[in-house]
Structure 1
């Protein structure tokens, strides 16, 4: 009799355990979207082109400074920004080499000679190419959202970069970066919107309404 009761109690106990496990599994949240997953999505795209519009909010000025142009990159470390308005200029990065062109003047330099600029370039290159190790070398990162709509907040680790840049926020959908916001020390801020080019070369864009960049 006691033996039969014990067997029944064991069966009931096992049923309760199974029920509790089932409820725990049902209540468990979906697998969190993390930096490695985002880098995997971004890393699938080995090159890309797009247009950009940028608003630069400068402390002491009423309206934003506006610029527009094209962006392109080839993984892992080539990136080009060509500003078309308000005046033509370009920034070409290839490895550790940076070339700036404005009008008839061209200047070349090593990126690592300007740590504050190197960090900003690596934030863009690292994200576009899906290189999480590069990002973590220069920034503390916080990822929010899901693979279909995400934001990546970056806080500089390097003291020289941190003296110039307070934070960066990159946003996008899937493996595409669609926005870059930067907060500078002193109160300045820039907001860039990127439109990826699909099936053709990036073309020129009209500058948005507002004050032109000097």
Structure 2
């Protein structure tokens, strides 16, 4: 009986100390990400295209302003940009621009919403298009996304985002047909 009284507080203290590691979940990750109202960084990307011997490389800058503005400016191998503002998408390459609405391309809308949902910490938006599995801890997390939208699933097999606390540091995408993209992000200071 005396041992039981001594062990119970020790066991309780050990369980409480370990609880934060067990408790890291999608809600906590979304809370950390939601604190970042804007961000900038640089990226390097490798695209593995079926039929090509080696990867294609690209690099440039990224920016995000919550809740729905994203810009990707590719500087190498050739300048191009993708600007998302709300439901509007502008693609620019070789001095020519093309404007469209995301609603007109449901598969692209899903990928954009996955990024915006993650970057803005909007779990319900993310869950609308993807089934998610979170692993790791606050300091080193991985968010695996499987499309639930049929049109998106016809294009994208999976997405994997990785990061630290409220920062996304990597994005990997697997496409139907075997192509793959691996992006590494370095946050700006």
| Superposed pair shares fold, TM > 0.5 | yes
Root mean square deviation of aligned Cα: 1.5
- 2:116 corresponds to 1:125: yes
Q: Which has the larger radius of gyration?
A: 1
The CA deviation string for residues 66-100 of structure 1, in whole angstroms up to 9 with x for no partner, is 11110001000000001111111100000111111
Aligned residues: 185
CA distance, structure 2, for counterparts of residue 25 and residue 58 of structure 1: 53
> Structure 2: how far apart are the matches of 1:68 and 1:43?
26
2:177 is the alignment partner of 1:190: no
Alignment partner, residue 25 of structure 1: 12
Matched, 1:35 2:22: no
What is the CA distance between 1:112 and its match in structure 2? 1.3
Cα distance, 1:26 vs. partner? Answer: 4.6
1:146-203: CA deviation from partner (whole Å, max 9, x where unpaired): 11111100000000000110000000011110000001111110000001111xxxxx
Q: Which residue of 1 aligns with 2:65?
A: 74
TM value normalised by structure 2 = 0.92
Extract unaligned runs of 5+ from structure 1: 1-11, 199-214
Aligned residue in 2 for 1:160: 151
**Normalized per residue, which structure has more strand?**
2
Q: Pick from 82, 85, 92: which aligns with 1:91? A: 82
Give 1:30 deviation, angstroms: 1.9
1:160 alignment partner, SS class: helix
Q: Distance in 2 between matches of 1:126 and 1:19?
A: 48
| Pairing 1:149–2:149 present | no
Instruction: Tell me the SS of whatever aligns to 2:30.
Output: helix
Taking the aligned partners of 2:9 and 2:125, their CA distance within structure 1 comes to: 41
- Counterpart of 1:45 (choices 36, 39, 53) is 36
Shift of 1:133: 1.1
Structure 2 gaps, min length 5? none
Who is 1:54 aligned against? 45
In structure 1, what is the equivalent of residue 56 of structure 2? Answer: 65
Deviates more, 1:159-168 or 1:102-111: 102-111
Secondary structure of the residue aligned to 1:45 is coil
